[in-house]
Amino acid sequence: MKKGERVVQELKRRAARGHPLNSGANRGDWLYAAAMLAFGSWERAIEAAGFPYDAIKIRALKKDEVIAKMKELVATGDPILAVEQESKLVAAANRHFGSWRDATAAAGGVAGPTKWTAERVVEAIRDEQEQGLPVNSVAMMKRNKNLYAAGRRRFGTWASALEAATGEPDPIIKMIRSEKSRGLPVTERAVRTRNAKLHAAAITRFRSWNGALHAAFGDGDSVRAEVGSPASTRAR
């Protein structure tokens, strides 16, 4: 299979699963690099896959939208660091307010200097649990995006942050690790054929098989080699 064909196939697969196709959501992934090599630009790759590029581009945030998002961060009471946030929000904040600090002040908050450490993330997760609040990724993204972003930054994935805080791996992660420990291949094709329920649950929880593998194993060389075949995709 040619590189261009593999890129088109993966773009269609991600679209079918509801994964956003804008460049920001895929930049840094193997697919983005492959698309650039095969087509010269992300836009041409998207159009080669049959999607109108204008329809998938992410619109820049307006000033009032920046304030609304910043107020959500301020409401958490946690440090608000530009490095912990989505690049789209940071870029819009700088464009409309001149700096991240000024945008934070306009929303009624104070930017840093206190940084999220791994220990602080763990303490915050445990505090959420003690209050009886759900700490799964979906709930956390809605309730405390700042903590969610910090957890992913410090531990690589939210699942890894939860494991550090609770001492227990996510049940799906536990099953994937069990499959590999038994000597079974954990490529997407192999697992989908062998255990369709596990594959479906992993896609639902982590948005992609790549994401599930990354949550389970990080960026281990053995896993990268195993999922590097054209039949599957690399862990991020």
Question: What pLDDT digit, counting tens, does each position of 11-50 carry?
Answer: 998 888 877 788 877 877 788 889 999 999 999 999 999 9
Say what the pLDDT of residue 235 is.
Answer: 36
Nearest partner of 204 among 110, 143, 149, 137, judged by Cα: 137
Q: Are residues 181 and 158 in the same domain?
A: no
- Domain identity same for 164 and 175: no
Domain count, the chain: 4
Q: What is the mean pLDDT of the chain?
A: 81
102 and 81, same structural domain?
yes
Same domain for 162 and 190, yes or no, is no
Are 154 and 177 within one domain? Answer: no
On whether both 23 and 37 belong to a single domain, the answer is: yes
Report the sign of the C-alpha dihedral through residues 85, 86, 92, 98, in that order: positive
- At 114 the pLDDT is 58
- The first and second tokens of residue 47, run together, are 């159009």
The full DSSP string for 38-87 is HHSSHHHHHHHTT--HHHHSPPPPPHHHHHHHHHHHHHHTS-B-GGGS-H
Give yes or no: residues 120 and 106 share one domain: no
Q: Are 199 and 191 in contact (CB under 8 A)?
A: yes
pLDDT, residue 207, reads 74
Average pLDDT over residues 193-200: 91
Residue 140, domain member (yes or no): yes
Report d(CA 78, CA 150) in Å as an integer: 10
Do residues 222 and 182 both lie within one domain? Answer: yes
Asked if residue 12 is part of any domain, the answer here is: yes
Domain for residue 231, yes or no?
no
pLDDT at 1: 55
Residue 77 placed within a domain: yes
pTM equals 0.44
pLDDT value at residue 219: 58
Q: Is 184 helix (H, G, I), strand (E, B) or coil?
A: coil
pLDDT tens readout for residues 93-146: 998 999 888 998 898 887 665 567 888 889 889 988 888 888 887 788 888 887
Is residue 217 situated within a structural domain? yes
Q: Which domain holds residue 25?
A: 3-56
- Is 17 a member of any domain? yes
SS3 168: coil
Query: Residue 232: inside a domain, yes or no?
Result: no
Cβ-defined contacts of 23-31 (< 8 Å, 24+): 24/58, 24/86, 24/87, 24/88, 28/236, 29/210, 29/236, 30/233, 30/234, 30/236, 31/7, 31/233
Strand pairing partners for 80? 111
Helix (H) or strand (E) holding 137: helix 137-143
Distance of CA 178 to the CA centre of its chain: 23
With CA atoms as reference, report the closest residue to 159 among 216, 82, 75: 216
Residues 122 and 94 in one domain: no
Same structural domain for residues 69 and 43?
no
Average pLDDT estimate for 64-78: 86
5 vs 49: CA distance, rounded Å:
9
| Cα dihedral 28→30→36→39 (10° resolution) | -150
Are 52 and 80 contained in the same domain?
A: no
- The whole-number pLDDT of residue 21 equals 84
User: Are 34 and 73 in a shared domain?
Assistant: no
Q: Is residue 87 a part of any domain in this protein? A: yes
